[in-house]
Structure 1
Amino acid sequence: MNSMIWNIDYFCNLRCKSCNAWQANIMFPDELVDKHIEEMKKNGIKVVSLTGGEPTLNRSVETILKKLKENHFITHIATNGTNPYVLNKIYRYLDGMSISIDSNIPEEHNEYRGGKIFDTVVKTIKESKKHVKILTMNTLVTNFNYFKIKDMAEFANNELGVPISMCFPEQSAYYFQDFQVTNEMIREAFSYAYENYNKHVFGNTRSYYKEAVDYIDGKKVTACRAGERALYTDYRGKVHPCFTHMEVVMNKKPQWEKFENSCNDCFTQCFREPSMDNKLEDARLLTKIWWYNHVKGKSSAKKEPLDNGNFGNKGPVTN
């Protein structure tokens, strides 16, 4: 199924060390929403994932999701989980969610995200399981968590009752002024996930973890199909093949231009995993996530949050 990563704002309430969205305050133009939804339908998009910045800060997020469901899209949101008031209004329009937690240690997550938010996010994950079909705890591999994917997976599975999904830390998608993550660190994290895939419940396919390791090792991997199976809409309404090829604008006309992709310059998960097109493995993964969210995970998740943090007055980048 062709998917769209739709950036509906360039604005955030947090100051994550891998993102600068907090420096801006730009919303996707309301006057382009209907046009963009209609064009996505005509150009074969089936799955739409809303992102940002923090997408729940867009005052039109409920309207956008409602229109997407009215037009029969499968809907997903990637959020930092700090805005439960808005989430409570949009659950009815969502099929899936990923909520970011970067460490199972509250102080580490809070320091990286720039706010005392850990407890709020934990509560949001536990509440969200009641409302959406597919939910994962999403983790960006960093220099402070790459060596403890086992601990992170056990926290997601046993404390929260959800799978853990992992983001490959690409220079084209993130900013790394305040910390450095090396290929050796990335390799250790994804190697653990690949080699121990059946010991935990993960939110990515095993093939994705294997190819992430192969990519770092310089081995042949599946050709990227960004611009065909997965595309990106920026907060100004321009459609691009991916985060790397922002110079290419595909929606100059209602029938979008084709992008002949021969690129192998990154391994951004949003585009690489859909490129693999393993329908059987994808179907098994979605079934496993649903089962863990709504059956197995209910009994394994603990009820109490792990710290007494709160979001305070900082008011709601994600992914």
Structure 2
Amino acid sequence: MRLISHPVLCNYYVTYRCNARCGFCDIWERPSPYIDLPTAEKNFTDLKKLGVKVIDFTGGEPLLHREIDKLLGLAKEFGFITTLTSNCLLYPKWAERLKGKVDMLHFSLDSPVKEEHDLSRGVACYDFLVESIAKAISLGEKPDILFTVFETNVHQIEEVYNKFCKPNGLVLILNPVFKYNEVDTGEKLSNLTLQQLKRWSKKPGIYLNEAFIQLRKDGGNHISNPVCKAGSSTIVISPENELVLPCYHLGIKSLPIKDNLYHLYNSAEVQKLISLEGKYPQCEGCTINCYMQPSFAVELNKYWWKALPGTIKYNLMKGTWKQLF
């Protein structure tokens, strides 16, 4: 049963450019412009009309955008919940200008071991992460530590939790790795690893969407009965100011917005593409967290119930639950 008929999230790619070279990501390989403020403002107006609650300013590395603070501030003026994930290379430079403008600020971490984290990111990020945590805390900010879980680093959750999160009162987000396109993301997560993740999710200060675990146990999205609602729950805007459908990772169609996002989204062409969400051949077995999370929020099914406890827990920890209603 559908609970919410309008999109709830916008993944706004401010640029595809990145100053890291993560082996499990290919976004940084794409050429890219940067979005401009006047265009973003027009899109914010239409996103509001479409019912979007949350804007995730993403990339690439979003802090490469020279007006990211202004974009975030404008989004807050519109009443959106804002999220941003950074590799931390530029956060110390931006920290004071970003203060109070990001509701859900995530710092990426792949290993508590400096050499391993830097190797994973393709550049020396670790020291900047440590500096960024200290800087954020000094400003009264509470960044989350976003730990992408691979089969090879699941044993490091405890060290990350005890070293970075527990002493600083920071939320640890466990983000199970997902496969897409031809990107090498390592071994499939084993049932033992999934069980470990579920146990960790019960601890204070740790967030994991348990529906991610259930979906992997079920073999991912199935085109015969899709759980994915990427097109109808999420609006994806590219740095070229195009509406990307049905999701960024599949990218079947990109349509120029031309200052007319509201009417474009409601057009017959877009609605037809949306009606096929989760049903494309490439959608079989998909577990991409970016689109499954909002998918779980808009339709009442077993995944909605699995996601509910973690969603409530996280929004209570972050103080954003009132803004969701």
CA shift for structure 1 position 70:
1.5
The separation in 2 between residues aligned to 1:164 and 1:209, in whole angstroms, is 17
Indicate the RMSD between aligned Cα atoms, in angstroms: 3.1
- 1:144 and 2:139 matched: no
The residue number in structure 2 matching 1:13 is 19
Task: Tell whether 2:288 aligns with 1:268.
Answer: yes
Distance in 2 (alpha carbons) for counterparts of 1:235 and 1:286:
29
Match of 1:48 among 55, 60, 63: 55
More helix by percentage: 2
| Contact 1:134-1:286 at 8 Å conserved across structures | no
Of 88-97 and 43-52, deviating more is 88-97
Is the CA contact (8 Å cut-off) linking 1:97 and 1:132 kept in structure 2? no
Q: Counterpart of 2:215 in 1: which secondary structure? A: helix
Q: Answer whether contact 1:65 1:93 (CA < 8 A) is retained.
A: yes
For residue 66 of structure 1, give the secondary structure of its aligned residue in structure 2. helix
C-alpha distance in 1 between matches for 2:243 and 2:169 = 36
Q: Which residue matches 1:296?
A: none
Counterpart of 2:211, as a letter, is S
Alpha-carbon distance in 1 for matches of 2:136, 2:12: 21
The one of 28, 45, 50 equivalent to 2:34 is 28
Q: CA deviation at 1:2?
A: 0.4
Q: Distance in 1 between matches of 2:278 and 2:30?
A: 33
Does residue 204 (structure 1) correspond to residue 208 (structure 2)? The answer is yes
Q: How does 1:1-319 map to 2 (within 5 A)?
A: 2-23=8-29, 26-30=32-36, 32-83=39-90, 84-129=92-137, 135-142=143-150, 144-172=152-180, 175-176=183-184, 181-185=186-190, 187-199=191-203, 201-215=205-219, 223-240=227-244, 241-249=246-254, 253-254=260-261, 255=263, 256=265, 257-258=270-271, 259-260=274-275, 261-263=277-279, 264-265=283-284, 266-277=286-297, 278=304, 281=309, 282-289=311-318
Q: Distance in 2 between matches of 1:228 and 1:126?
A: 39
Question: Per-residue displacement from partner, 1:14-38 (whole Å, max 9, x unpaired)?
Answer: 2221234444552333152222222
Letter in 1 for 2:205: V
Identity %: 20
Name the amino acid aligned to 1:56.
Answer: L
CA distance in 2, matches of 1:87, 1:20: 27
User: Deviation of residue 117 (structure 1)?
Assistant: 2.3
Q: Which runs of 5+ in 2 are unaligned?
A: 1-6, 298-303, 321-325
What TM-score comes out, normalization by structure 2 length?
Answer: 0.76
Q: For 1:39 and 1:63, how far apart are their aligned partners in 2?
A: 18
Provide the C-alpha distance between the structure 2 equivalents of 1:184 and 1:170, rounded to a whole number of angstroms.
9
Q: How many residues align?
A: 286
Pair 52,204 (structure 1): closer, same or farther in 2 beyond 3 Å: same
Q: Verify the 8 A CA contact 1:82 1:120 in the aligned structure 2.
A: yes
CA distance in 2: counterparts of 1:21 and 1:247, whole angstroms: 16
Shift of 1:192: 1.1
Contact 2:178 2:289 in 1 (8 A): no
Distance 1:280 1:139, change over 3 A: closer
